[in-house]
């Protein structure tokens, strides 16, 4: 009988260990960004601010991750000596090929998020939701959930979402919680399309 209890308990232990320790590690697959881009270099050496590349257009839409023409504007020829820049120019600028950047914050197709409403009207800073990307020397590895196809940033780093601050995730609950905290009226179609 005690054997039985041990069997049960050991099964439970294995499952708990697997679920809490192993699962988060194996759930995500890591992919590399196409170019080894350094925000820090551009902020310091080029004196660029966030809005220089991640800008708003006249109609309020957000340019998001800049397209190749933004980069080619300066990098038509090598501006530094790094191998990463050389690779970039050879593989993307010269053949005029768009780098397939992996977007950490990519939402499902049916989500409508207006950057300009949050940045201009809501006075929300970029770092609040995206973290301090601008100060990093290299882009963080892109961790993707292979089943759903979304980045880890959407769910939030902890798999169980315990201890996650609102801005640490980008699921609908996180948006709704922040809107509630700010006392803003919201409707389904305000954020869906």
Partner 1 sequence: MSIDIDKCNGCGACMVACAVENNIPPAPEAANDRKGITWIRVYKVDNHRAYPERRTAFVPVLCQQCGHDTPCAHVCPQQAVDVDPATGIVGQMPERCLGCRYCMVACPYHARYFNWWDPKWPAGMEKTLNPDVAPRMRGVVEKCNFCHGRWHAAQQKAAAAGKREIDAADYVPACVEACPTGALRFGDLNDASTEVAHDAQRPESFRLLEKLGTEPKIHYRSQRDWVREIASAPRPEGKDGLRG
Partner 2 sequence: MTTTRRNLFKFVGGGAAGALLTPAPWRLITDAALWSENWPGIPRPARGEIRARFTHCTLCPAGCAVRARCVNGQPVSLAGVKPHPIGHGALCPWGIAGHHLPYHPARVRQGPVKEAVAAVARAIAQRGAGERVAVLDLRPGRTVSWTYRRAMAAIENGLYLTPGQPAYSIDLAAAKTVVSFGAPLLDGWGTPGNVFAARDHFRLIQIEPVETRTAALADMWLPIRPGTESVLAAALAGETTIAEAARVTGVEEEAVGAVQEAAQSGSAVVLAADPGSPLMSLNAKFGALGRTVVARRESPLPDAWKKAAPVAEMAAAPDGAIRVLLIDESLPGGYVPWSTIEPKLAANAIVVVFSSTSEGYARHAQYVLPAPVYPEAAEDIGPAIDTVAEVFRIAAPLVAPVVPVVKPGEFVAQMAGLPQGDPLRERADAIHKTGRGALLSYADGKSTPAKEVTADDFWKTLNQSGCWMDETGKKAAPSGLGRSVTRLTSHDELPLAVVVAEFNRGGLASPLMSKLERESNLRMAANRVVLSPADARANGIESGGRCLLETACGRMNVVATIDAGVPSGVVEVAGGPRMADLCGASRRARVVRA
3 state SS of 151: strand
Mask 42-71, x = binds partner 2 (CB under 8 A)?
A: ---------------x-x-x-xx--x----
Residue 11 to residue 5: CA distance in whole angstroms: 10
Instruction: Choose, by CB under 8 A, the member of 88, 92, 142, 150 that binds partner 2.
Output: 150
Residue 120's φ and ψ, nearest 5 degrees, are -85, -50
Question: Are 31 and 152 in contact, with CB atoms under 8 Å apart?
Answer: no
135 near partner 1, rule: CB under 8 A: no
Residue 57, burial from CB neighbour count under 10 angstroms (0-12, 13-18, 19+): exposed
Question: Are 50 and 134 in contact, with CB atoms under 8 Å apart?
Answer: yes
Residue 146 to residue 27: CA distance in whole angstroms: 8
Residue 53 to residue 55: CA distance in whole angstroms: 6
Name which of residues 81 to 120 contact partner 1 (CB under 8 A). Answer: 108-110, 112, 114, 116-117, 120
The residue among 77 and 147 lying less far from partner 2, judged by its C-beta, is 147
Residue 39 to residue 66: CA distance in whole angstroms: 13
What's the maximum distance between 2 C-alpha atoms anywhere in the chain? 76
193 near partner 1, rule: CB under 8 A: yes
Q: Judged by CB under 8 A, which stretch of 3-11, 76-84, 123-131, 180-188 contacts partner 2? A: 3-11
Name which of residues 102 to 121 contact partner 2 (CB under 8 A). Answer: 108-109
The least distance separating partner 1 from the CB of residue 156, rounded to whole angstroms, comes to 21
Instruction: Choose, by CB under 8 A, the member of 25, 47, 58, 149 that binds partner 1.
Output: 58
Binding site for partner 2 (CB under 8 A): 3-5, 7-16, 18-20, 23-24, 27, 57, 59, 61, 63-64, 67, 108-109, 145, 147-150, 159-160
Binding site for partner 1 (CB under 8 A): 56, 58-61, 108-110, 112, 114, 116-117, 120-121, 185, 187-190, 192-193
């Amino acid at each position: 009988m005690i054997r039985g209890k041990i069997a049960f308990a050991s099964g439970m232990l294995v499952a708990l260990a697997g679920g809490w320790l192993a699962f988060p590690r194996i759930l995500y697959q890591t992919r590399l960004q196409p170019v080894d881009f350094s925000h820090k270099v551009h902020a310091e050496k080029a004196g660029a601010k966030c809005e220089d590349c991640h800008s708003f257009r006249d109609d309020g839409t957000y340019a998001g991750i800049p397209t190749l023409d933004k980069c080619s504007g300066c990098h038509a020829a090598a501006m530094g000596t790094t191998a990463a820049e050389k690779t970039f120019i050879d593989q993307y600028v010269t053949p005029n090929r768009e780098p397939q950047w992996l977007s950490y914050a990519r939402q499902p197709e049916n989500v409508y998020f207006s950057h300009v409403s949050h940045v201009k009207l809501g006075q929300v800073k970029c770092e609040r939701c995206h973290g301090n990307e601008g100060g990093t020397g290299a882009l963080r590895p892109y961790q993707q959930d292979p089943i759903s196809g979304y980045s880890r940033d959407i769910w939030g780093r902890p798999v169980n979402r315990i201890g996650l601050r609102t801005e640490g995730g980008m699921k609908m609950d996180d948006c709704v919680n922040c809107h509630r905290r700010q006392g803003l009226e919201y409707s389904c179609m305000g954020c869906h399309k």
